[in-house]
Chain A
Amino acid sequence: MAEVLVYVDHVDGAVRKPTLELLTLARRVGEPVAVALGGGAGDTAATLAEHGAVKVLTHEAAEYADYLVVPKVDALQAAVAAVSPAAVLVPSSAEGKEIAARLALRLGSGVITDAVDLEAGDEGPVATQSVFAAAFTTKSRVSKGTPVITVKPNSAAVEAAPAAGAVEALSVTFSAAATGTKVTSRTPRESTGRPELTEAAIVVSGGRGVNGAENFAIIEALADSLGAAVGASRAAVDAGWYPHTNQVGQTGKSVSPQLYIASGISGAIQHRAGMQTSKTIVAINKDAEAPIFELVDYGVVGDLFDVVPQLTEEVKTRKG
């Protein structure tokens, strides 16, 4: 069976969930071979093996942290040369997409970004994309070279599928371009203790209707009662009420949780672009005409300052 390379997104050896989802999808098209780079790369092997990686190619070097993107492209290119895979899968983060695109160009291949599903096809893997703010679903494939495809978080279930996960050192020679863009400093984001926005099963978001940074506490309280991540509309972010890293939408994160709760958000097309594929959508808005209500499974027309705290209390009571 053909091998499929899976680029591993990890933080010091802790594998992030979207990579485990990729291993599920990779098994539909071939045998997953994982590529883990940078500090802690070797520590990823056990988790990757549990989820179906037959092999884990690792390479640690300071370049991955000290320079932007290109060293990772060099390494993936070396992995492709070593394995001749049927496809390369990369998580759809901003960096993942840049890595994938540059790799595809070097391989003389096409690139597909932001796939939400992947199937084996007669002429190679077929990717499903959700486009035009999720108004259309397309099926596409790469027609030249080794398909390079990036996949959005929450596109597949994480499945355990024990495999050998044999660790092999990957040999990488960095290109002249590798040291072109220096990372002169890095400030890690402080953890809130809440789930990662793009990976969360439930997202609770607030918009302009929340009306002030201090009021986001009621959104956070609801999120915490449900074990959810907190999101925000761009209006709330631009007003400085919540960090940009929590923005949901076209220029923020795109989320696809089981449940999305929007409070005080009108539902502009750019916001919808980032949340329309959520499985269940709930909105609280005092304007019955707000476009968000076109999307909802359940909507409450009302003041969020009444509805949200009452909901939070009720969730807490029911959870005991």
Chain B
Amino acid sequence: MSLRIVVTVKYVPDATGDRHFADDLTVDRDDVDGLLSELDEYAVEQALQISENSDDDVEVTVLTVGPVDAKDALRKALSMGADKAIHVEDDDLHGTDAIGTSLVLAKAVEKAGYDLVVSGMASTDGTMGVVPALLAERLGVPQVTLLSEVSVEGGVVKGRRDGDSATEQLEASLPAVVSVTDQSGEARYPSFKGIMAAKKKPVQSWDLSDLDIDEDEVGLENAYTVVESATERPARTAGTIVKDEGEGGKQLAEFLAGQKFI
């Protein structure tokens, strides 16, 4: 038996940098360093653990849709231990929204061949948390999403989903799309050996024509959503800051009373 896992990983601007929008109201990716979305490290980790815990022959492929520099995200995932990488890159992809992104990912996953797709819970830039569900809808396979625990055995994926009002145990037959949360377990650091090995691992590049996607199905012009404006939030006016000299709690109570909270 063999198990083919595709991990979707996004290349995002560093959240600790000064992120902003370009003139066309897409994310300005030139001004802030990019990296592998930290939440996708958890997806890579879980894929590697599934692989390590399996008696089957498992292949872990990491897949990104993004600009040239997105290769960095793939390298990081390869150095963690993934076997190979696919980079979908095309100028016409600039400005693609969630619906379009899911189309490209679905076509790429199908072309690559898969039994299991593992995604992060959300990107750290768009933070929509919808791409895994969209992928499942497009691929016509079960979604087993937002898992804090995941396991695969005998063609069945099981996991725990901690929802707002309940904790649920979920189960589905493969093929399936899984997404994992940052509660699923710390992601490993790439070892020196891993980093060296990653340099030799194959990275395939596909463009839209490789995936039989028309340029009018993706990109800013063809998005299903339009951003009309983006304005920087005005800096908060400096608040009052007091040093506690024994009365700090009382002073704070006075403030809260003045604001009618007490």
Could you tell me if A301 and B241 are in contact, using CB atoms closer than 8 angstroms? yes
- Judged by a CB distance under 8 angstroms, whether A58 is at the interface is no
- Given A270-B15, A306-B249, do A296 and B241 touch, yes or no (CB 8 Å)? yes
Could you tell me if A259 and B256 are in contact, using CB atoms closer than 8 angstroms? yes
Q: In chain A between 132 and 172, which residues have their CB closer than 8 angstroms to a CB of chain B?
A: 132-145
B108-151 CB mask vs A (1 if < 8 Å, else 0) is 00000000000001101101111011101110111111101000
- Judged by a CB distance under 8 angstroms, whether A280 is at the interface is yes
Could you tell me if B253 and A311 are in contact, using CB atoms closer than 8 angstroms? yes
Q: Which of B162, B249, B252 makes the CB contact (< 8 A) with A298?
A: B252
Could you tell me if A297 and B170 are in contact, using CB atoms closer than 8 angstroms? no
Could you tell me if A298 and B244 are in contact, using CB atoms closer than 8 angstroms? no
What chain A residues lie within 8 Å of B143 (beta carbons)?
68-70, 98, 180-181
What chain B residues lie within 8 Å of A282 (beta carbons)?
252, 255-256
Q: Which of B130, B239, B247 makes the CB contact (< 8 A) with A101?
A: B130
- Judged by a CB distance under 8 angstroms, whether A302 is at the interface is yes
**Which of under 10, 10 to 19, 20 to 34, or 35 or more describes the interface residues of B?**
35 or more
Interface residue stretch chosen among B3-11, B84-92, B94-102, B204-212: B94-102
Q: Which chain B residue lies CB-closest to A188?
A: B166
- Judged by a CB distance under 8 angstroms, whether B164 is at the interface is yes
Could you tell me if A139 and B228 are in contact, using CB atoms closer than 8 angstroms? yes
A86-116 CB mask vs B (1 if < 8 Å, else 0) is 0000000111011011101110011111100
Shortest distance from the beta carbon of A64 to any chain B beta carbon, whole Å: 13
What chain B residues lie within 8 Å of A94 (beta carbons)?
129, 146, 163-164
- Judged by a CB distance under 8 angstroms, whether B243 is at the interface is yes
A-B interface pairs (CB < 8 A), number: 263
Could you tell me if A97 and B239 are in contact, using CB atoms closer than 8 angstroms? no
- Judged by a CB distance under 8 angstroms, whether A284 is at the interface is yes
Q: Which of A180, A185, A299, A312 makes the CB contact (< 8 A) with B240?
A: A299
Q: Which of B144, B146, B261 makes the CB contact (< 8 A) with A259?
A: B261
Q: Which of A111, A280, A281, A309 makes the CB contact (< 8 A) with B99?
A: A111
The distance in angstroms between the C-alpha atoms of A6 and B116, with both chains bound, is 34
Could you tell me if A111 and B170 are in contact, using CB atoms closer than 8 angstroms? no
What chain A residues lie within 8 Å of B16 (beta carbons)?
269
The distance in angstroms between the C-alpha atoms of A144 and B221, with both chains bound, is 12
What chain B residues lie within 8 Å of A318 (beta carbons)?
253, 257, 262
Q: In chain B between 214 and 256, which residues have their CB closer than 8 angstroms to a CB of chain A?
A: 223-233, 236, 239-244, 246-253, 255-256
Shortest distance from the beta carbon of A90 to any chain B beta carbon, whole Å: 11
- Judged by a CB distance under 8 angstroms, whether A84 is at the interface is no
What chain B residues lie within 8 Å of A296 (beta carbons)?
236, 239, 241
What chain A residues lie within 8 Å of B243 (beta carbons)?
288, 300-302
Could you tell me if A300 and B244 are in contact, using CB atoms closer than 8 angstroms? yes
B→A interface (CB under 8 Å): 15-16, 19-21, 25, 39, 97-99, 102, 121-122, 124-125, 127-130, 132-134, 136-138, 140-146, 148, 158, 161-173, 176, 181-183, 223-233, 236, 239-244, 246-253, 255-257, 259, 261-262
A-B pairs, top 3 by smallest CB distance, nearest first, are A302-B244, A310-B249, A110-B224
A→B interface (CB under 8 Å): 11, 68-70, 73, 93-95, 97-98, 100-102, 104-106, 109-114, 126, 130-145, 177, 180-189, 198, 202, 226, 244-245, 250-251, 258-259, 269-270, 273, 280-282, 284, 288, 293-303, 306-315, 318-319
